[in-house]
């Protein structure tokens, strides 16, 4: 779900960034009484995500603008398909255009990639999740787009769960020490995830009471051994060097979760345009 208050703040900041003292070109050429209509069109095939955000962008600038969605978030579209119609003051439509498209294109690019990844492992009981490798300030939008595309979310931020990483372990002195300190400090309702790099560390993490173990940068054969060692005692998450080509082979060995930073940090924005009728 999108948080409307968070969306409003993000959009306002984006609009201010784009025209802190107005739009010198559009303000010089048009006044708000000139009405018209524009169409948002897909220029390539993909999965749409972010229509409510695009609509909010236009309406924050001008609440009288009418936004008519032709498709819905999660729909597949082809090149040339119309996505939405916008009616109202041409001046304000043009001023909000770039911010609305930037967000819609970015989110649709993420949803398209997530859909592709989800399809690859659809026959396996595995969950593909995102990471915190998101664009600063846009995390909630990008994680929403991941879900629209058919994948799942990992933690939203550092407050969501205990996740003990390699630098934590080095700083504290070891896996057992880190697990013990966290378990004493946190509520009983909070899960603990810990990152391991070897099978010996995995055994130590299971014995130490971890709820989730992240297998960091392991090859597929080593992860297969980890699944056999684990015997479903903890949730196993594969992470690091997860390419599109490896997804199915990792899913097939019985890993529970595959986290993929590329869902958000190396995404090509979907090509979408806005043109006046």
Percentage of the chain lying above the pLDDT 70 cut: 100
Q: Which pLDDT score is estimated for 228?
A: 98
Going by pLDDT thresholds of 50, 70 and 90, the confidence category of residue 1 is confident
217 φψ region: left (φ > 0), alpha (ψ -120 to 50), beta (else)? left
DSSP string, 210-223: -SEEEEES--HHHH
Instruction: Spot the catalytic one: 18, 44, 81, 216.
Output: 216
Name the 3-class secondary structure at 4. helix
| Gap between the Cα atoms of 264 and 255, Å rounded | 22
Instruction: Spot the catalytic one: 8, 116, 133, 155.
Output: 133
| Gap between the Cα atoms of 127 and 125, Å rounded | 7
The predicted model gives 208-226 an average pLDDT of 97
77 φψ region: left (φ > 0), alpha (ψ -120 to 50), beta (else)? beta
- 152-259 belongs to which homologous superfamily? Aldolase class I (3.20.20.70)
Instruction: Spot the catalytic one: 195, 204, 237, 256.
Output: 195
Q: Which helix (H) or strand (E) holds 145?
A: helix 139-148
pTM: 0.95
70 φψ region: left (φ > 0), alpha (ψ -120 to 50), beta (else)? alpha
Q: Which pLDDT score is estimated for 2?
A: 86
The reply to whether 216 belongs to the active site is yes
The reply to whether 98 belongs to the active site is yes
Q: For strand 272-276 and strand 212-216, is the pairing parallel, antiparallel, or unpaired?
A: unpaired
The predicted model gives 168-175 an average pLDDT of 96
Residue 167 has pLDDT above 80, yes or no: yes
Query: Nearest CA to 88 among 97, 79, 80?
Result: 97
| Gap between the Cα atoms of 162 and 182, Å rounded | 8
Residue 236, beta-bridge partner list: 213
Q: For strand 192-196 and strand 162-164, is the pairing parallel, antiparallel, or unpaired?
A: parallel
Name the 3-class secondary structure at 173. coil
| CB environment 175-191: b (16+ within 10 A), e (fewer) | beebbeebeeeeeeeee
Name the 3-class secondary structure at 190. coil
The segment(s) of the chain belonging to CATH 3.90.1170.20 are: 4-114+268-276
Instruction: Spot the catalytic one: 8, 87, 98, 155.
Output: 98
Measured CA to CA in angstroms, residue 224 lies from 30, 95, 128, 221, 241 at distances of 64, 54, 18, 5, 16
| Gap between the Cα atoms of 144 and 104, Å rounded | 12
Instruction: Spot the catalytic one: 8, 87, 165, 183.
Output: 165
Q: Which pLDDT score is estimated for 186?
A: 95
Determine phi and psi for 45, rounding to 5 degrees.
-75, 140
Query: Nearest CA to 51 among 111, 92, 137, 95?
Result: 111
- 4-114+268-276 belongs to which homologous superfamily? Quinolinate phosphoribosyl transferase, N-terminal domain (3.90.1170.20)
Longest dimension (CA), the chain: 71
77-130: per-residue pLDDT in tens? 999 999 999 999 999 999 999 999 999 999 999 999 999 999 999 999 999 999
| CB environment 61-79: b (16+ within 10 A), e (fewer) | beeebebebbbebebebee
């Amino acid at each position: 779900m999108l948080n409307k208050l968070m969306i409003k703040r993000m959009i306002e900041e984006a609009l201010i960034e784009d025209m802190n003292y107005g739009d010198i070109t559009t303000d010089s050429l048009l006044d708000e009484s000139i009405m018209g209509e524009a169409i948002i069109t897909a220029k390539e095939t993909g999965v749409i995500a972010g229509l409510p955000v695009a609509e909010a962008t236009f309406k924050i600038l001008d609440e009288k603008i009418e936004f008519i969605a032709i498709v819905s978030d999660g729909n597949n579209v082809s090149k040339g398909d119309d996505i939405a119609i916008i009616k109202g003051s041409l001046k304000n439509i043009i001023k909000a255009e770039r911010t609305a498209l930037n967000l819609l294109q970015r989110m649709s690019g993420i949803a398209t990639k997530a859909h592709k990844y989800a399809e690859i492992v659809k026959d396996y009981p595995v969950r593909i999740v995102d990471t915190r490798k998101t664009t600063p300030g846009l995390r909630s939008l990008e994680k929403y787009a991941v879900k629209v595309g058919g994948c799942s979310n990992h933690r939203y931020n550092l407050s969501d769960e205990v996740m003990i990483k390699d630098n934590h372990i080095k700083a504290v002195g070891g896996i057992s020490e880190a697990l013990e300190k966290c378990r004493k400090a946190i509520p009983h309702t909070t899960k603990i995830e810990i990152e391991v790099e070897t099978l010996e560390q995995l055994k130590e993490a299971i014995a130490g009471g971890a709820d989730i173990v992240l297998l960091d940068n392991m090859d597929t054969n080593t992860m297969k051994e980890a699944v056999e060692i684990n015997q479903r005692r903890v949730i196993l998450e594969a992470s690091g060097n997860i390419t599109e080509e490896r997804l199915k082979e990792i899913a097939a060995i019985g890993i529970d979760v595959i986290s993929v930073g590329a869902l958000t940090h190396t995404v090509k924005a979907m090509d979408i345009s806005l043109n006046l009728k």
